[in-house]
A and B are shown apart, each in its own frame.
Chain A
Amino acid sequence: MTTHSSDLEPIQAVGDPLPDPGLPPHEHRLTDTDPKAAKRVERQVAAMFGIATLASIGFLVAYVALPLDGDLNRLQLSNILLGLFLGLSLFLIGIGAIQWAKKLMPDVEMVQERHPLESSPEDQQGAIAAFEAGAEESGIGRRKLIRNSLLGAAALLPLPVVFLLGDLGPLTPPPPEVLAKTIWKKGTRVVNDVTFEPIKPSDLQVGQLVNAMPASYEELPEEAHTERLRVRASASVLLIRMERGEFTVPEGREGWDIDGILCYSKICTHVGCPISLYEQQTHNMLCPCHQSTFALAEGGKVVFGPARRSLPQLPLEVDAEGYLAAAAGFDQPVGPSYWQRLEVES
């Protein structure tokens, strides 16, 4: 190492290869040299301040002239005028001041030399001495009981905050099957969303779309808000009808449709948005959140977008009274991925 140390010696520059160019020559503004220009700018600034005054008066006039009496149209006009006048007033005072400063105020270039941020040695000595004197007088070094109890109190202070974080979610994750199962089971009727009317296969025409729910959703008590939301977010489905031959039936899903009526989960497998942008000619279902597109004529497979899993399909049957119902629950968890999904599937 020592043999090479001489190579690393910095080379002293002879003279300065890039001398400090200094400040560029001062150029005078037009308003500095031409009194006419200065006068013109003065008038501009005065005009801005003048209009600002008028705008303030306009605000007051609009406020008095448009009393709010619950009429939405008047409220709209009042909002626009008040905002416009107040904004105009502030804006014109602002740009007037800037114009004044830029064009008319003294145009002298100031140079402020930088200096080190460090305090002087005397100040540093003084601060250290004051700190030490304070520490000595408080007796924190001598009175160990106080010092240690203070340390303990300070150390435990963040704990309540940390514990509050626990309220952000359940400390123990729900068992995997809670997320894996929906309330669909064999015999659950497929009913219209909003109206909750049961649906007969003959009600659906080719090209039809029905936003549907399980009939058991309506039976949930009104006050079970969380449960109702959970069911809505997991068990919402779509019914569509296609001509026979327009769609392919994936292996293992034979008999899942009723005369071309297919039922798919309405929950996107990407991040769980409700999807129902259905193009009846292409049979594509588009998610409005991130444009994942599912080909419902091909078993709900993803044809575009960030989703990675097909849209789960619900097998259908016709019950004794002739209404559409689920022939079984979903054969896979619906909606987006979650930690224990693999456990459920394996």
Chain B
Amino acid sequence: MTALLAKRRHPLAAVVVMAAALAALAGLYALVSPASQASTTTATSTQVEEGRQLFLVGCSSCHGINAEGVIDDAGNVLGPSLIGVGAAAVDFQVGTGRMPMARADVQAPKKTAAYTEEQTAALAAYVASLAPGPAIPDADQFDPAQGDVARGGELYRTNCAQCHNTTGQGGALTLGKYAPKLTGVEPVHMYEAMLTGPQSMPVFSDDVLTSEDKRDIIAFLTNVQGEPNPGGVGIGRIGPVSEGLWVWLIGLGALIGVAAWLGAKSS
């Protein structure tokens, strides 16, 4: 132990520690990743059954006993049919915590996921077993490192920026609905959202916006999140609106305050 301590300032010490950490991480990944791969690609019948049980308890009150959807007497859709929405829709909605909803509202907000990854996979397997639908994408399809950031930016500005803002800060829609912020969203969830069109968002199917296009968009979003603010404070990065608001309200407000203080008689 003391020998080890004595060597801790050796020039190669950092390299050794880094190598050990990487090896440990790789070992962990190897332990975890085959399991999750299996759960997303080949759904076992026990997994489907487990998903069905979870569905009956947590989802069926709004989506119906057989996921056929529930429409009340007044014609309001309490929960849409989930037949044919596919595993990707379930993984997105449950994985980002949007489902189950806390209460009936115009929009389901992103929140802490209520189900574990295993349970989410079981639910996805159950819903996918009802009818064919979009599957959860492979890791390769949404790996930001493999995407073309510049091309992704062009696609993003044409297809996404009008609602989600040019740097993914989100924006308002009608009647209390909104396009959510895209910062801190998992790449897999970005892919699934484009693929399935959750809530107000339209669908961007793989036939029109190809898998490669989506990966480029994800690469752009990941890249733009890591960009520093050379001007100092980002103020939400929503551009001239927040900057103008800052100048007009806070900047001019302070100037008026100083002017009033200047003119006030000293006590």
Q: What is the interface of chain A, defined by CB distance below 8 A to chain B?
A: 29-31, 72-73, 75-76, 79-80, 83, 95, 98, 102-103, 107, 192-195, 197, 199-200, 202-211, 240, 274-282, 284, 286, 288, 291, 293, 304
Contact with A208, one of B199, B204, B227 (Cβ below 8 angstroms): B204
Q: CB distance B162 to A275 under 8 Å?
A: yes
Residue of B nearest to A29 (CB): B266
Bound-state Cα–Cα, A275 to B232, Å: 32
Q: Which of B154, B158, B179, B208 contacts A204 (CB 8 A)?
A: B208
State the CA gap A72–B131 with chains docked (Å): 50
The answer to whether B42 has its CB under 8 Å from any CB of chain A is: no
How far is B201's CA from A282's CA once the two chains are assembled, in angstroms?
A: 10
B228 contacts the other chain (CB 8 A): yes
Beyond A79-B231, A279-B200, list 14 extra A-B contacts (CB 8 Å). A30-B267, A75-B228, A193-B159, A204-B208, A207-B202, A208-B205, A209-B159, A209-B204, A274-B162, A275-B162, A277-B162, A279-B173, A280-B203, A281-B200
Asked if A276 meets B203 with Cβ closer than 8 Å, knowing A79-B230, A208-B197, the reply is no
Q: Does B33 belong to the interface (CB within 8 Å)?
A: no
Assess whether B213 is interfacial by the CB under 8 Å rule.
yes
Q: Please determine whether B208 and A210 come into contact, CB atoms closer than 8 angstroms.
A: yes
Whole-angstrom distance between the Cβ of A73 and the nearest chain B Cβ: 5
* Residues from chain B with Cβ under 8 Å of A275 in the complex: 162
Q: CB of B177 within 8 A of chain A? A: yes
B174 close to chain A: CB less than 8 A: yes
Residues on B with C-beta less than 8 A from A205 are: 197, 203, 205
Q: Which residues of A contact B213 (CB under 8 A)?
A: 195
* Smallest beta-carbon distance A2→chain B, Å: 54
B266 touches A203 (CB 8 A): no
Chain A residues with CB under 8 A of B163: 277
Q: Which residues of A contact B209 (CB under 8 A)?
A: 192
B232 (CB) vs chain A CBs: closest residue: A80
**By the criterion CB–CB under 8 Å, are A194 and B202 in contact?**
no
Which residues of chain B come closer than 8 Å to A80, judged between CB atoms? 232-233
Contact across chains for B203 and A207 when beta carbons are under 8 A apart: yes
Verify B266–A209 contact, CB threshold 8 A.
no
Q: Indicate if the CB atoms of B197 and A194 lie closer than 8 Å.
A: no
B202 touches A278 (CB 8 A): yes
Q: Restricting to B156-182, which residues have a CB under 8 Å from any CB of A? A: 158-159, 162-163, 171, 173-174, 177, 179
B203 near A209: Cβ-Cβ < 8 Å: yes
A residues near B200, Cβ cutoff 8 Å = 279-282
A206 to B201 CA separation, bound complex (whole angstroms)? 12
Given known A-B contacts A203-B207, A280-B202, A281-B200, A72 and B228 have beta carbons under 8 A apart: yes
CA distance in complex: A29, B199 (Å) = 66
Taking the closest CB of chain A, its distance from the CB of B200, in whole angstroms, is 4
